[in-house]
Chains A and B, each alone.
Chain A
Amino acid sequence: MSTNRYVARANNVAARMIGGEMMIMSGADSSLYSLNETASILWQAADGVTPLAQIVEKHICGDYAVDPAMALRDAEELSEELARHGILLLSDDPLPDSGPPSKASP
């Protein structure tokens, strides 16, 4: 798997941090998802222009006692899962114009 992948929040989702969990509703079928703390960090940092590896290094490895390689592998798996559900975009190239700004947190 490429370590230079880019992630961006889909632009048709609704999202809000509620009680420490990021709740996301898919615009495609109104399915509701809940992300835990670390997944929420990744989702909020998914601006389309910061490489996934950099997001993991800056936002996950810096705050959690985790092996960087394992953290990146987990993040890639999570990103692919979220992309399958249509709430995250995943690309080998930057996605500068996709996704709303992260204003989901109170």
Chain B
Amino acid sequence: MNGLMGEMGAKALKLGIPLGVQLDLTYRCNERCVHCYLDHDDHGEMTTPEIKDLLDQLAAAGVFFLILSGGEIFLRKDLFEIVEYARKLMFSVKLKTNAVMIRKAKAKRIAALGVESVQISVYSHRAEVHDAITKLPGSFRRTIEGARLLKSNGVRVSLANVLMRHNANDYPEVQALAAELGVGYNVDPTITPMMDGDRSILDLNIAPGVLERVFHNSTLVGNAEEFCAPPSGPLAQADALDSLPCSAGHTACYISPYGDVFPCVQFPLPSGNVRKIRFLDIWQHSPQLKEVRAITMADLQGCSSCAHGSSCSRCPGLAYLEGNMRGPSTQDCEKSLARTGVPSMNLLRKGAAMATPNPTVAAFAPKYPRGTQPVMWMARE
């Protein structure tokens, strides 16, 4: 992140503004993906008026980027009412969907509402593999049709390709499919634990060799040589005191369909509920968010002096799910090993460096990969 986007992020951090929020509208879904981390039962989703009121609060708090996700968002009958309201409040709205329910009329309406982009989950270029992962027969055909309809209506689309054992070697063809459709492509070799902490789905993670190939592919990671460069050592003490682990709880947060606020979708530390407390009060005064914000790199046990300290993509949410938000995230240590071939201090301590089980990685596409433009200026006299 650089230029004006970087300036906006820095200003938001300084002023304590939640620049980006992911709001899951539902956990219900028409697919039953084998790797999904959610419970799909409806335990009392926020109503349309509750969500509109929440959007008013988010706009007032300064939220710029709004991701609407799920579950499958099109299972909400009020989805367009919500998106229309969000656009009136001038959020940059991104939708995450499987696109199975998107047909001509819906694609046109999404385009007309000025949605920033739509991210669509695609697992393989082979229908039988995709459908076996989603457990919804015919889903591949409908998903790709949805993507084409959105694209033909001028909507910015990207395919999100989560990798797991079932589809580990299909990503080059999915990438080619995205190119044929004229849409973006992001690979995500991350299978994360379920929201309730159940780690059994981690067994689906791809093999270390596949992960290494992904990391060394410049079409996926940008400059692979730079991305996979040897670790440049721990952060200097002064930098470690100032450096923040990530944006979770600092300039971003996640809200569940039931109104629960968390630092991030991947960091299930309950921090308050907007049905009981106003969002801004939670954002500014929640003890849990304050605790997350108080952590600097210097506080990270076993990380601050690790050789990967200055280049590690440690996820505090995964560390929390592992039992200690100030501790290492073994999944990220395994990532660093796959990138560089150098084991982290945590892996060395565990004696696991030589037999790395199921490495996983976080999505490495920038969250807001936007170009920046010159600042408009009008003189004040």
A: residues with CB less than 8 A from B are 11-19, 21, 23, 25, 27, 29-39, 42, 64-67, 70, 74-75, 78, 81-82, 85, 100-101, 103-104, 106
Check: B15 CB closer than 8 A to any chain A CB: yes
Q: B64 contacts A66, CB within 8 Å?
A: no
Which chain B positions have C-beta within 8 A of A106? 59-62
Q: B8 contacts A42, CB within 8 Å?
A: no
Q: B371 contacts A31, CB within 8 Å?
A: yes
Which chain A positions have C-beta within 8 A of B7? 34
B: residues with CB less than 8 A from A are 3-5, 7-8, 11-12, 14-15, 17, 19, 59-64, 87-93, 114, 116, 156, 370-373, 375-381
Partner of B88, one of A12, A33, A74, A103: A103
CA distance A103 to B378 in the complex (A): 22
Q: B114 contacts A27, CB within 8 Å?
A: yes
Instruction: Output the least CB separation between B60 and chain A (Å).
Output: 5
Instruction: Output the least CB separation between B63 and chain A (Å).
Output: 7
The closest CB in chain B to the CB of A23 belongs to: B8
The closest CB in chain A to the CB of B7 belongs to: A34
Q: A25-B116, A100-B87 are in contact. Are A18 and B378 (CB under 8 A)?
A: no
CA distance A25 to B5 in the complex (A): 10
Closest 5 CB pairs of A and B: A14-B92, A12-B114, A39-B378, A31-B373, A16-B64
Q: B90 contacts A14, CB within 8 Å?
A: yes
Partner of B378, one of A21, A25, A38, A65: A38
CA distance A91 to B60 in the complex (A): 31
Instruction: Output the least CB separation between B20 and chain A (Å).
Output: 11
Q: B4 contacts A39, CB within 8 Å?
A: no
Instruction: Output the least CB separation between B157 and chain A (Å).
Output: 13
Q: B371 contacts A30, CB within 8 Å?
A: yes
Q: A15 contacts B90, CB within 8 Å?
A: yes
Instruction: Output the least CB separation between B285 and chain A (Å).
Output: 18
CA distance A14 to B86 in the complex (A): 10
Q: A25 contacts B59, CB within 8 Å?
A: no
Known A18-B64, A31-B372, A74-B379; further 20 A-B contacts with Cβ < 8 A:
A11-B114, A14-B64, A16-B62, A19-B11, A19-B15, A25-B92, A27-B116, A31-B371, A33-B4, A33-B373, A33-B376, A36-B375, A36-B378, A66-B381, A67-B381, A70-B381, A82-B376, A100-B88, A101-B88, A103-B89
CA distance A66 to B379 in the complex (A): 10
CA distance A75 to B380 in the complex (A): 11
21 A-B interface contacts by CB (under 8 A): A13-B114, A14-B90, A15-B90, A16-B91, A18-B12, A18-B15, A19-B15, A21-B11, A23-B64, A30-B156, A32-B370, A32-B372, A34-B4, A36-B376, A38-B378, A39-B376, A74-B378, A78-B378, A100-B90, A106-B60, A106-B61
Partner of B376, one of A13, A64, A78: A78
CA distance A86 to B355 in the complex (A): 54
Partner of A42, one of B4, B90, B378: B378
Which chain B positions have C-beta within 8 A of A75? 378
The closest CB in chain A to the CB of B64 belongs to: A16
CA distance A67 to B380 in the complex (A): 11
Which chain A positions have C-beta within 8 A of B14? 19
Q: A18-B8, A18-B12 are in contact. Are A32 and B373 (CB under 8 A)?
A: yes
The closest CB in chain B to the CB of A39 belongs to: B378
CA distance A18 to B92 in the complex (A): 14
* Residue of B59, B88, B92 with most partner-chain A CB within 10 A: B92
Which chain B positions have C-beta within 8 A of A35? 376, 378
Which chain B positions have C-beta within 8 A of A14? 64, 90-93, 116
CA distance A2 to B55 in the complex (A): 39
CA distance A38 to B381 in the complex (A): 10
CA distance A44 to B8 in the complex (A): 19
